[in-house]
Amino acid sequence: MDFSFSEEQQAAREAARGVFSSVAPDAVPSPVAAAGPVADDFDRPLWRRLAEADLVGLVTGPEYGGAGLDPIALCLVLAEAGGVLARVPLLETGAAALALQRYAPDELRQSLLPEVGRGGTVLTVAAAGRTGHEPAERAVRARPVRTGGGGWLLDGVQTAVPWPGQADHVLVPAHPADDEGRAVLAVLPREADGMTWADQLSTNGERYGELRLESVRVDAGRMVDAAGAWEWLRDLLTVGTCALALGVARQVVRMTGEYVGKREQFGHPLATFQAVAMQMADRYIDTQAMEATLWQAAWRLGDGGATDGLPVAADVAVAKVWASDGVRRVTQTAQHLHGGFGADIDYPLHRYHAWAKQLELSLGPAAAHEEALGDLLAAHPPA
């Protein structure tokens, strides 16, 4: 069996490397040095270059002006973005666009996806729920409107929504009031009657938002009611977060390898000391495990089939466990081996540590996904 990437996937990765080569990680503002959010906007020039390279519309179909690639291609690009701490809404926009293409009504797809591919429309997703520790679809209730043209009314709270001031539309999961076991997706404009935003500050210094919904009316045509739509989007966001974490971990291992190869103690490079070499070897193994589990999950989300009867959520959970634990161990070891440089807020490693912590906890830490994996294994015993 051939496990190599396709020509199209490799081309997407090379194009991303070309665009991100102009990004200097040490130019990313420090969350410690900044009094508030590190910036009021994302990197618009970089976003334009990504759109010009057809990387924003990477996963949308040719009928919408995109390349029509799969979650693996998106994750290849996201890994390159993570390596330079790229401040762009590529994960949220790409995942939301792919989910809309897969599950949304045709009219909604036609109205949004062409402009998304051109970089003119930014999408985000409210995926953290009310507190960040509960299913996001349980945080918002959707009530059907029986009169006046129909539609739905939404009530609830979603916390930690990324890019709240920049996204043109936000995808909000909810549960119908008459069927709490079902999840629907609402595609809302950034501002609408009954919507209020409160500023929040993330671990890496980025501005997030708490979204409150009070009887927000949504037309039926802007609701995605297909079975499994929210679950698939949530899994894709999780896998994309794993790809960003892989990019961060790879770059941190690279930075640390260069440092211990040049830094000398007692007349010898640090890399020649056995204790240092063993720690670096362990962290390299972490990145390899992060990568292997990431591609397994991304493949399953695309055209991959069943694995021993387990749902794709099991592969996603495994990938997030390795991503969360792996990126934390990599950055901790890097700070230890860098000594004083590891804590210097003017040195790029400090920023990577802040991003690593944010990615570790985003959409659930390792322990939460270990628990979810245990539940899945119990519900799907081997035949």
Residues 272 and 372 in one domain: yes
Residues 238 and 184 in one domain: no
- Distance CA(130)–CA(156), nearest Å, equals 8
Q: Is residue 308 part of a domain?
A: yes
The CATH number of the domain where 158 resides is what?
Answer: 2.40.110.10
User: Residue 99: its pLDDT value, please?
Assistant: 97
The residues, any chain, with a CB within 8 Å of residue 23's CB and separated by 6 or more, are 43, 46, 84, 85, 86
pLDDT at residue 308, rounded to an integer: 55
- How high is the pLDDT of residue 354? 93
Q: Specify whether 25 is located in the same domain as 108.
A: yes
Answer yes or no: is 68 within a domain.
yes
Does residue 282 lie within any of the structural domains? yes
- Which pLDDT belongs to residue 264? 77
User: What element of type H or E holds 92?
Assistant: helix 90-103
- Is residue 177 domain-shared with residue 41, that is, in the same domain? no
Residue at a domain's end among 121, 146, 178: 121
Number of domains present in the structure of the chain: 3
End-to-end CA, the chain:
25
For residue 36, the tally of other CB atoms under 10 A from its CB is 11
Beta strands in 37-183 (DSSP E): 123-125, 140-144, 152-162, 169-176
The residues, any chain, with a CB within 8 Å of residue 355's CB and separated by 6 or more, are 82, 85, 204, 248
Boundary of a domain, candidates 195, 224, 253: 224
pLDDT value, residue 344 = 85
pTM of the complete model beyond 0.85: yes
**Residue range 15-58, pLDDT digits in tens:** 999 999 999 877 777 787 776 788 788 999 999 999 999 999 99
Q: Are residues 129 and 220 in the same domain?
A: yes
Identify the segments of the chain with pLDDT beneath 50.
none
Same domain, 275 and 373: yes
Residue 289 counted as domain residue: yes
Same-domain pairing of 236 and 102: no
Determine which helix (DSSP H) or strand (DSSP E) holds 200, and give its type and residue range.
strand 195-201
Looking at the fold, whether 277 and 362 belong to one and the same domain comes out as yes
Residue 6 DSSP code: P
138 in the same domain as 114: no
- Residue among 354, 332, 359 nearest 256 (CA): 332
| 220 closest CA partner among 151, 172, 169 | 151
Determine the pLDDT at residue 49.
97
Residue 223, strand partner residues = 186
Residue 246, both tokens: 């892989």
**Does some domain include residue 14?**
yes
Separation between Cα atoms, residue 333 and residue 118, nearest integer Å: 40
CATH code for the domain of 250:
1.20.140.10
**Does residue 1 lie within any of the structural domains?**
no
**DSSP notation for 330-379:** HHHHHHHHHGGGGG-TTSHHHHHHHHHHHHHHTT--HHHHHHHHHHHHHH
Q: Is residue 194 part of a domain?
A: yes
Please give the Cα distance from 21 to 55 (Å, whole number): 15
Question: For residue 294, what are its two tokens?
Answer: 């990431």
Domain span at 152: 125-224
Query: Is 2 within a domain?
Result: no
Do 95 and 213 belong to one domain? Answer: no
In this structure, are 69 and 197 located in the same domain? Answer: no
CA 123 to CA 120: how far, in whole Å? 10
Q: 151 and 165, same structural domain?
A: yes
Task: Please report the pLDDT score of residue 195 as a whole number.
Answer: 97
Q: Which of 82, 101, 121 is the last residue of a domain?
A: 121
Spatial distance between the Cα atoms of 294 and 144, rounded to a whole number of angstroms: 38
Residue type, 364: G
DSSP 244-282: HHHHHHHHHHHHHHHHHHH-EETTEEGGGSHHHHHHHHH
State the pLDDT at residue 89: 97
